[in-house]
Structure 1
Amino acid sequence: MTTSNGRQQPAPQVGSRTLARGLTALLAVVDSPDGMTVQRLAAELDVHRSIAYRILQTLRDFGFVTHGSDGSYRPGALLAALSTSYLPALREIATPVMRRLADQAGCTVHLFVVEGDEAVSIEVVEPVTVLQHIAFRAGMRTPLDRGAAAYALLAAGPALPGEPESVVEARRRGYATSSGEVESGAYAVAAPIANSHPAACLTLMSHRENQLAAAAPEVVRAAQEIASAVLEG
């Protein structure tokens, strides 16, 4: 199943359809900046409105979503509590470094980790020093076969026979770059964070190639600072 924002959902196994529907509904709410209505969710799940309503009410009862006065459902406060429980030490160390880097470079900074065959953004810091920048939310996923983040994460591991030249180059110079591989017109530079398990990297994104070229050394230094703090911790 594919949600309205293009997020691919795995096919549910026998006996898990109800759980799969509930999780898909939760992701649909999270991905709806203007709120999710019962009617819209019913269309996304291809179910009757009464089923969509019961799913949303159950999510609300558990605190995963909240029901607004306009009739729309939005992410609930429980999600914030759950999100902080994932790799809390790494995120606590990385966030202030990311904030400084974002303001210095004037670009959005992501903290990516490996999850299966994907690179997943678990923390995002946007600059406050500029008005225009690329904006992505945490939870962004990209395949491990494209993009600066993927190359940096693969470069954090041991060299493998036949690995892409972009990974070899990232391991040699300490950072990876990409152009339009994840989003058209977007440039990225990423540096692996040593001592992190799972593998992690810092990624800077911008629509201006020269801006990232100048910032590459800063990204590497920021990743090294985080790696040192992780080792000491």
Structure 2
Amino acid sequence: MTPPNDPESGGSQTLERGLAVLVELSRHPGGLNTSQVAAATGLHRSVAHRLLVSLHRTGFAARDDEGRYAVGPAVPGLLGDTGPSLRTVAEPVLHRLARRLDATASLVEAIGTAAVTTVVAEPPTDGPLFWYRKGSRDPLDHGSGGLATLASGPPRASEPDRVQAIREAGYVITHSEVNVGAHGVAAPLPGWPVRAAINVVTSDPDLAERAIPHVREAAAVIGTPNDHH
């Protein structure tokens, strides 16, 4: 019997269950659906669902369009000295890219079912500018940023047919798919804890074509977490 004044008594069962769910997600980089999480943790499915919703809402879990959950973008920040985050690595690269191309460059991450812009670098002049704000949310299944973000992860049955071609080519170029008059070039960033891509958006279609090798080079500079330890 645990003594009443034992520091191990009490505690939060909900917190312990949530941490157990997070541990299971960390063991399965390809993601788990709610039933799989429930089976792995021994929790009732309804309990697992509520915990996953909370983890997703707070960024500790990411959910794809097939209902699978994986470790979310908020987790790496808790891990201490594990190397710089993707956003930290990408920001100076994006600013150099924006200056070189005179176009808006951004980091896009898959958060939930959206492609969310998390870092933005604006060009130094008012050339063929297309404004993109931090926090902008676009579809994952069309538009350069969303498609390249999907291509940064392993193949999935529900992904659009062209994602595999993007994965193999290392880039995608789109025209007016999300916003009329916007031309986007994006490159996947595989190997990071979150699916992500770098994206350049411009109103000049010729500039978009010229940007392809520069965007691919920037993605190579960002590399993977192992390149920054």
Q: Residues 29-108 of structure 1: matches in 2 within 5 Å?
A: 89-108=85-104
Contact kept? 1:93, 1:229, Cα under 8 Å: no
Partner of 2:208 in structure 1? 212
Q: Residues 1-233 of structure 1: matches in 2 within 5 Å?
A: 89-161=85-157, 163-228=159-224, 231-233=227-229
Contact kept? 2:104, 2:123, Cα under 8 Å: yes
Distance 2:78 2:108 in 1: 13
Question: When the two structures are superposed, what TM-score results if normalisation uses the length of structure 1?
Answer: 0.59
Helix, strand or coil for the counterpart of 1:214? helix
Distance 2:91 2:157 in 1: 35
1:95 to partner: Cα distance:
1.0
Helix, strand or coil for the counterpart of 1:223? helix
Question: When the two structures are superposed, what TM-score results if normalisation uses the length of structure 2?
Answer: 0.60
Structure 2: state its 5+ residue gaps: 1-76
Distance 2:158 2:87 in 1: 33
Structure 1: state its 5+ residue gaps: 1-84
1:227 to partner: Cα distance:
1.7
Identical amino acids, percent of aligned pairs: 35
Question: 2:145 is aligned with what amino acid?
Answer: A
**Deviation by residue 1:59-88 (Cα, 9 ceiling, x = unmatched):** xxxxxxxxxxxxxxxxxxxxxxxxxx7997
1:177 to partner: Cα distance:
1.7
1:231 to partner: Cα distance:
3.4
Question: 1:112 is aligned with what amino acid?
Answer: V
1:229 to partner: Cα distance:
6.0
Helix, strand or coil for the counterpart of 1:204? strand
Greater relative CO (CA pairs within 8 A, separation 6+): 2
**Deviation by residue 1:196-226 (Cα, 9 ceiling, x = unmatched):** 1111110000111111111111101101111
Contact kept? 2:171, 2:186, Cα under 8 Å: yes
Partner of 1:52 in structure 2? none
Distance 2:177 2:78 in 1: 27
Helix, strand or coil for the counterpart of 1:183? coil
Distance 2:164 2:146 in 1: 12
Contact kept? 1:196, 1:230, Cα under 8 Å: no
Question: 1:227 is aligned with what amino acid?
Answer: G
Contact kept? 2:128, 2:202, Cα under 8 Å: no
Partner of 1:26 in structure 2? none
1:166 to partner: Cα distance:
2.6
Contact kept? 2:108, 2:118, Cα under 8 Å: yes
Question: 1:114 is aligned with what amino acid?
Answer: A
Helix, strand or coil for the counterpart of 1:101? helix
1:168 to partner: Cα distance:
2.0
Helix, strand or coil for the counterpart of 1:151? helix
Helix, strand or coil for the counterpart of 2:223? helix
- Summarize the Cα distance change of 1:168–1:152 in structure 2 as closer, same or farther, 3 Å threshold: same
Distance 2:155 2:107 in 1: 22
